[in-house]
Chain A
Amino acid sequence: MEMDMVKYLAKLAKLSFTDEELEKAVADMTDIIDLMDTIKDIDVVYDAYKDNHNVYLADLRKDEAMPSLPTEKLLANAVNQENCFVVPKVVE
């Protein structure tokens, strides 16, 4: 795998790597993709119908509001202020 591809995947993943980590990631990913490439030897096509034809809408739960957790409990693991999550400023 090329360095540019690893950088592109890291960007998609919102991960940053040092130069040394990038070198290691290229080596690891090359080895891993080589293992994944074994599936190129088999001719098989995914048939979405097989997976989806037996999903019955009647089995889904009703679309109705249910009690949820209190706001203070949900904010307890976050930096919060005035019942809101705090994020860096995103508008001028």
Chain B
Amino acid sequence: MSMDLTVKQLRDGLDSREFSAREITQSYLDRIEKIDGQLESYITVTGEKALAAADKAQQRIDAGESAPLTGIPMAIKDNICTEGVLTTCASRMLENFVPPYNATVMDRLEAQDTVLLGKVSMDEFAMGGSTQTSAFKKTKNPFDLTRVPGGSSGGSAAAVSADLCGAALGSDTGGSIRQPASFCGVTGLKPTYGRVSRYGLVAFASSFDQIGPIARSAEDCGIILNAIAGYDYHDGTASKLPVEDYTAKLGMDMKGKKIAYVSEFFGEGVDDEVRNSVLAAIDSYKAMGAQVVECSMPSLKYAIAAYYLIASAEASSNLARYDGIKYGHRSEVEGSYNDLVIASRSEGFGDEVKRRILLGNYALSSGYYDAYYGKAMGLRQRIREEYAGIFEKCDLIITPTAPSVAYGINENIHDPRKMYQADFCTVTVNIASLPAISTTCGYNADGMPIGMSIVGNMWKEADIIGAADAFEKTFVRRSAAL
């Protein structure tokens, strides 16, 4: 059986009894067993639980009461709390952490009897864009095992791309859903900030973090967003705005739609093949009747600094909770309370996490606060205003998702500055709290996927899913080599 099936195809197969929930779950588990040794996408595989969940889902299917995700096998990024299932954040700090509760998104997936196949790798505490800072599984790219899958949700994107799950959840703080989706040739959606509850998502930068789906199509992303979106008592930043049907605008009629071409996203630093591929996709939309409007975002050149200052400031505060006492790594060192905390943190955190904590403390420290954190917050407002100006004239913005295709393992990871700069296409969306979806729009000469991002105004997920779907219907997606 081909495992390259969308959620929609899996639903049809389950409901028509072409295969049972147990059979499809077992097929994924077998494939994980067979090829994940090379790919290294899963940190934890929950085989027995998955089969038990599949049997429960089957009863619901047999009763004719399927929800859209009933019996669909999914992989979950390892920073989303799963009650009774190891949640490591790909860090030695949480190597043995078993959450006593479910993230709200997990409760919502379980309410539909979705099948959890396991927890997938990521950059440690979601800090990185390569999944090479994972303390456990340094995931590879299914299109070329010598390259990175992107990150931080690299395990999620690679598992979808390599047919090791039906779909996955990731989280996006500065591009961590969209960039790995782009590198692995799949579709990833970062919802509007507040659309999906963050309760149970291990916090990195609380004003940016957002959970979202990585799947084979925009339609699948809409089906999953329908399941996980909405207000949550446990998250004060979760919006009370009503949840829409995010599949309502599939195959959107692009006639008369105004697409913003923001020149700064296509300038220096973007590979020619990436630029040409995204421009060709914009031409496809023009052929469908869309109009292209030239726009500008003068503050984009400051966005990387603004993002890293704010995100690191929030991270340094959020990660102060890891003291080795309540949960997480506890050092064996003998000594005072302070000695225990310092040793536990120093042993538990990896290099990149430590760098971000230092940067965050610097940005917030006396004498530097106004020059760095204060100014970054001002820039955040400026960038929001520039986006608002663009959305007064346009319906959507199309940009490259990343300036290059997936690069070689170890190529950038010893150069933090270069790693940070590579995020310039994605971070402004988080800064402005906007929704964006990345879908494959081409392949380079080596056959590596190229992604484009479609950015919408606040709460316009249905529009960007609809527009991405309209393109996907004209585009032939390639399967990964693995």
Q: Give A contacts to B, CB under 8 Å.
A: 5-6, 9-10, 12-17, 25, 28-29, 31-42, 44-47, 50-51, 59-61, 69, 73-74, 76-79, 85, 87-88, 90
Nearest 7 A-B pairs (CB), nearest first? A77-B327, A44-B378, A73-B100, A46-B378, A46-B377, A39-B305, A9-B358
Contact A15 to B349, CB < 8 A, known contacts A61-B236, A73-B100? yes
B270 to chain A, nearest CB (A): 18
B207 to chain A, nearest CB (A): 10
B38 close to A (CB within 8 Å): no
B359 close to A (CB within 8 Å): yes
Q: Which residue of B lies closest to A8 (CB)?
A: B365
Residues A39 and B306 in contact, CB atoms below 8 Å apart: yes
B355 close to A (CB within 8 Å): yes
Contact A32 to B417, CB < 8 A, known contacts A25-B355, A60-B236? yes
Residues B358 and A29 in contact, CB atoms below 8 Å apart: yes
Interface of B is mostly: helix
B458 close to A (CB within 8 Å): no
B354 close to A (CB within 8 Å): yes
Residues B97 and A32 in contact, CB atoms below 8 Å apart: no
Q: Which residue of B lies closest to A16 (CB)?
A: B346
B371's partner among A17, A40, A76, A90 (CB-CB below 8 A) is: A40
In the complex, chain B residues whose CB is within 8 Å of the CB of A88 = 335-337, 339-340
B379's partner among A9, A12, A39 (CB-CB below 8 A) is: A39
B341 close to A (CB within 8 Å): yes
Q: Pick the most buried of A10, A15, A25: most chain B CB atoms within 10 A of its CB.
A: A15
In the complex, chain A residues whose CB is within 8 Å of the CB of B328 = 77
Contact flags B392-417 to A (C-beta < 8 A → 1, else 0)? 00000000000000000000000011
Q: Apart from A12-B365, A14-B320, A61-B236, what are 13 other A-B pairs with CB-CB below 8 Å?
A: A9-B358, A9-B361, A13-B354, A15-B357, A29-B359, A32-B416, A35-B304, A37-B305, A39-B379, A51-B381, A59-B240, A77-B98, A78-B326
Contact flags B143-173 to A (C-beta < 8 A → 1, else 0)? 0000000000000000000000000000000
In the complex, chain B residues whose CB is within 8 Å of the CB of A41 = 302
Contact flags B315-331 to A (C-beta < 8 A → 1, else 0)? 01000100101111010
27 interchain pairs, CB-CB under 8 A: A13-B354, A15-B349, A15-B357, A25-B355, A28-B355, A29-B355, A31-B417, A35-B304, A35-B420, A36-B363, A38-B301, A38-B302, A39-B309, A39-B375, A39-B379, A44-B381, A46-B374, A50-B381, A51-B381, A61-B233, A69-B100, A73-B100, A78-B325, A85-B325, A87-B325, A88-B335, A88-B340
A40 to B323, CA, bound (A): 35
Residues B421 and A35 in contact, CB atoms below 8 Å apart: yes
In the complex, chain A residues whose CB is within 8 Å of the CB of B320 = 14
Residues B340 and A87 in contact, CB atoms below 8 Å apart: yes
A7 to chain B, nearest CB (A): 11
Residues A32 and B420 in contact, CB atoms below 8 Å apart: yes
In the complex, chain A residues whose CB is within 8 Å of the CB of B374 = 45-46
Residues B355 and A85 in contact, CB atoms below 8 Å apart: no
Residues B96 and A44 in contact, CB atoms below 8 Å apart: no
Residues B354 and A42 in contact, CB atoms below 8 Å apart: no
Interface residues of B in 294-319 (CB under 8 A from A): 299, 301-302, 304-306, 308-309, 316
B309's partner among A25, A36, A47, A85 (CB-CB below 8 A) is: A36
A86 to B299, CA, bound (A): 50
Q: Which residue of B lies closest to A60 (CB)?
A: B236
B420 to chain A, nearest CB (A): 6
Contact A33 to B362, CB < 8 A, known contacts A42-B379, A59-B240? yes
B343 close to A (CB within 8 Å): yes
A6 to B338, CA, bound (A): 19
Residues A36 and B372 in contact, CB atoms below 8 Å apart: yes
Q: Which residue of B lies closest to A37 (CB)?
A: B305
A17 to B320, CA, bound (A): 17
